[in-house]
Structure formats: structure tokens, C-alpha cells
């Protein structure tokens, strides 16, 4: 099962390691890190899923298996990193994640002076966004240069593909010169174009959740008018301290600070929305499990998420909406009798919260 990877990025003194601690329960030391220092910390955590908890109570199986997400706290980002192209290790670290949590400082702390002298979320957000745009632009220009050098060496049979790739990268170049991320491009990419771009790991194609790191409830207004982008606020220092407590104490402290939902719950939910993901469930005597699936994926793709044999020998899927199964106290006989459980074919588009039993023959 593929684990979603999210990269936590931000300027020095933005508090991104504090955000990492709050989301993962880690207790990494924090402090102002010199710009340009390459450092990565990772942790894999369960995705909070109340619907899975309900299923576990209904079936009382031996195991309850959550979907998981890996957070990477990526250091070494600062103004000027995009000039001349990013370093290999840093580029690889950024390219391997599915999306970014961009931590932007929105708190005052005289003991942690801001690198640029003042707290200005819009300015700081623009700095790293600009560096990513520049990095993508340099990568596109280098590819166009290579394509130009190779055009006379291309065998006749490969020239149409070469021409299409040149046209694609010229489109990318023209768009980046408008200083907008690639995910804002109005024209959809074909499957071939998506495959061509995949190896370049363009940063401005990735979804971005801007996390305003505040020291009080609420947050300053921040306009971020880009596709697959959103803004959320988080009291990271308090949440990181609460993450070290046991559940009862944590609930008490959240109440005192007016924090209704744990940060990890909110941030993961928003991240999944931006990444175009949702969950389906499987239940049984051995385990109940949540599976991560792209929105719009079909039953056969869901089957393959569990095991390639399920997809290879797919016959049909028995599908019950989570809320209907819960209303029937987990009794499939009742949901079948009422027509709430349906038999679906391989092209059925899985819905969020579907409980699925796959029938296959290998």
C-alpha cells in the first residue's frame, strides 16, 4: 500500500520543526537553523479516521489498521537556493513528496529574531514560492536546450514524440515566465505529457497547504489564489507540547486553549483534499482497515491497492456505504435485504467511505 508523503518546508525560524513535532508526536530540538543546511527528519503516523474507529467497535477484530502518512521535515531552504538550480540531494528530497506543507511564520518572538527583520507572512510565502518557480524554470530551460541539441540525432520514427515534448516544454516555459506555478496552467495535461513531466519532479506542480504558524487563536488574512492550494492556521508551539501528553491530558489542554480539533486531524484532512485522496474500508474478523485511494479511482484500482491478485482476478465488488452499514449495526444481511449493499463491476467509481468486499478468482 502506497504511503502518502508530505514535505514540511519553510524559511529558517518559521517553526517547521515545531509543526513536525506537533503532527508526529516527535520531540526534535528546535531553534534557528542556518540557511542552506541540508537536514531531513521523517516520521510515519496513522491518519486519524473516526469512521474506522466506529467499524472497529462494531466488529471488534484483532487488528485496526489506519492509512498512514509520512511527514518529511526538509531543511536547507532559504532565499537564493533556486539560483543555478537546486542541489541534487535537496532536489531529490523535494521531488519525492506528494505535496508540501509550507510553514509560514505568523508569530512574534524576540528570542527568535526573524531572518529578514520583521514578521511578514505574505513576503515569506513569496520567497520560497519564487525559488521553486525559478528552479522549475531552470529545469525547463535545460531540457529545451537538450532537446534542441538532439533534434538532428532523432531517428525519424521518434521525431513526432520529440516534437510533442518540445511543444510541451515551450508551454511550461511560457507559463513559468508569468511567475505563476505550473499547477495554475489552464490547459489540462495529456497522459503522455504527465508521464514526461514525472521524471522532473517540478515543485510548482505539487499541491501546497500553507500553514500559518501563529501564537494565538485566529490568523492574519493571507491570499493564496492558486489551484490545489489552501491556507490553514496552527498554534504549533502549543500543539507540539500537547502532542507529548497522554490523550486525557491533551484533551484538557486543548479545551483550555480553545483548540477544538487536534492539528494533525485538521492538517491531514486538508492535505488529503488537496492531494485528491479519500478512503475506503475493508472489514472482517481479523481486521478493519482504511485504504487511501485517489478520488475518481475505480473498483479494480481499489482492488489493486490491496493486492495485485485482487485486480488481476477481479470478478465484482460488494459495496456498502459506511453510514448504511453503521445504521445496520454492521449486519451485511440487513444491508443486502434493504438494497444498501450493491454488486459493482470493475469500472465502478469508488466513493469516500465505501466498505468494499472484493470477489476475485486467481
| pLDDT over threshold 80, residue 1 | no
pLDDT in tens, 61-77: 999 999 999 999 998 78
Answer whether residue 11 shows pLDDT above 60.
yes
Strands of the sheet with 342-344, listed across from one edge? 63-65, 287-294, 277-282, 354-360, 314-321, 342-344
Fold of 296-360: Ubiquitin-like (UB roll) (3.10.20)
Strands (E) in the chain, as ranges, are 4-9, 40-46, 63-65, 68-74, 99-105, 208-213, 229-234, 277-282, 287-294, 314-321, 342-344, 354-360
* Partners of residue 291 on adjacent β-strands: 280
Give me the phi and psi of 321, to 5 degrees please.
Answer: -60, 140
Domain with CATH 1.10.150.300 in the chain: 132-204
The neighbour count for residue 333, using CB atoms within 10 Å, is 9
**Cell 528552479 found at:** 135
Q: Which residues make up the CATH 3.10.20.30 domain(s) of the chain? A: 296-360
* Exposed / middle / buried, residue 261 (Cβ in 10 Å: 0-12, 13-18, 19+): exposed
Q: Is the pLDDT of residue 33 over 60?
A: no
Q: How confident is the model at residue 82 (pLDDT cuts 50, 70, 90)?
A: low
Nearest to 159 by CA among 171, 147, 175, 172: 147
As a whole number, mean pLDDT of residues 108-114 equals: 90
Q: Which CATH architecture has domain 132-204?
A: Orthogonal Bundle (1.10)
Cα(20)–Cα(30) distance, rounded to whole angstroms?
Answer: 10
**pLDDT tens, position by position, 237-255:** 999 999 999 988 988 988 8
pLDDT digits (tens, 9 = 90+) for 139-177: 999 999 999 999 889 999 999 999 999 999 999 999 999
**Contacts for 96 with CB less than 8 Å, ≥ 6 apart:** 5, 7, 72, 201
Pick the CATH number of 4-46+65-116+205-274 from 3.40.50.720, 3.40.50.300, 3.40.50.150, 3.40.50.1820: 3.40.50.300
Task: Give the pLDDT mean for 27-51.
Answer: 79
Delimiting residues of CATH 3.40.50.300 domain(s) in the chain: 4-46+65-116+205-274
Model confidence at 32: pLDDT above 60? no
Amino acid at each position: 500500500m502506497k504511503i502518502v508523503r508530505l514535505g514540511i518546508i519553510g524559511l529558517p525560524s518559521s517553526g517547521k520543526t515545531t509543526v513536525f513535532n506537533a503532527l508526529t508526536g516527535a520531540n526534535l530540538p528546535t531553534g534557528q537553523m542556518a540557511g542552506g543546511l541540508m537536514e531531513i527528519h521523517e516520521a510515519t503516523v496513522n491518519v486519524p479516521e473516526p469512521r474506522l474507529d466506529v467499524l472497529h467497535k462494531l466488529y471488534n477484530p484483532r487488528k485496526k489498521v489506519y492509512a498512514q502518512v509520512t511527514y518529511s521535515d526538509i531543511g536547507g531552504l532559504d532565499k537564493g537556493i533556486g539560483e543555478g538550480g537546486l542541489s541534487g540531494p535537496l532536489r531529490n528530497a523535494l521531488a519525492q513528496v506528494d505535496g508540501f506543507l509550507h510553514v509560514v511564520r505568523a508569530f512574534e518572538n524576540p528570542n527568535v529574531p526573524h531572518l529578514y527583520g520583521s514578521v511578514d507572512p505574505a513576503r515569506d510565502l513569496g520567497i520560497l514560492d519564487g525559488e521553486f518557480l525559478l528552479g522549475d524554470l531552470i529545469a525547463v530551460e535545460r531540457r529545451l536546450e537538450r532537446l534542441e541539441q538532439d533534434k538532428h540525432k532523432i531517428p525519424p520514427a521518434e521525431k513526432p514524440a520529440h516534437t510533442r515534448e518540445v511543444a510541451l516544454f515551450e508551454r511550461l516555459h511560457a507559463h513559468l515566465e508569468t511567475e505563476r506555478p505550473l499547477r495554475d496552467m489552464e490547459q489540462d495535461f495529456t497522459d503522455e505529457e504527465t508521464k514526461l513531466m514525472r521524471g522532473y519532479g517540478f515543485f510548482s506542480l505539487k499541491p501546497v497547504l500553507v500553514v500559518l504558524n501563529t501564537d494565538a487563536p485566529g490568523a492574519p488574512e493571507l491570499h493564496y489564489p492558486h489551484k490545489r492550494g489552501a491556507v490553514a492556521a496552527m498554534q504549533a508551539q502549543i500543539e507540539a507540547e500537547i502532542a507529548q501528553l497522554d490523550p486525557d491530558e491533551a484533551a484538557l489542554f486543548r479545551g483550555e486553549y480553545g483548540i477544538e480539533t487536534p492539528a494533525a486531524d485538521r492538517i491531514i484532512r486538508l492535505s488529503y483534499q488537496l492531494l485528491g485522496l479519500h478512503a475506503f474500508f475493508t472489514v472482517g474478523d481479523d481486521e478493519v482497515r482504511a485504504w487511501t485511494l485517489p478520488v475518481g479511482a475505480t473498483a479494480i484500482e481499489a482492488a489493486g491497492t490491496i493486492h495485485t491478485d485482487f485486480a488481476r482476478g477481479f470478478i465484482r465488488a460488494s459495496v456498502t456505504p459506511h453510514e448504511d452499514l453503521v445504521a445496520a449495526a454492521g449486519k451485511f444481511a440487513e444491508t443486502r435485504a434493504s438494497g444498501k449493499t450493491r454488486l459493482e463491476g470493475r469500472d465502478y467509481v469508488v466513493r469516500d467511505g465505501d466498505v468494499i468486499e472484493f470477489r476475485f478468482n486467481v
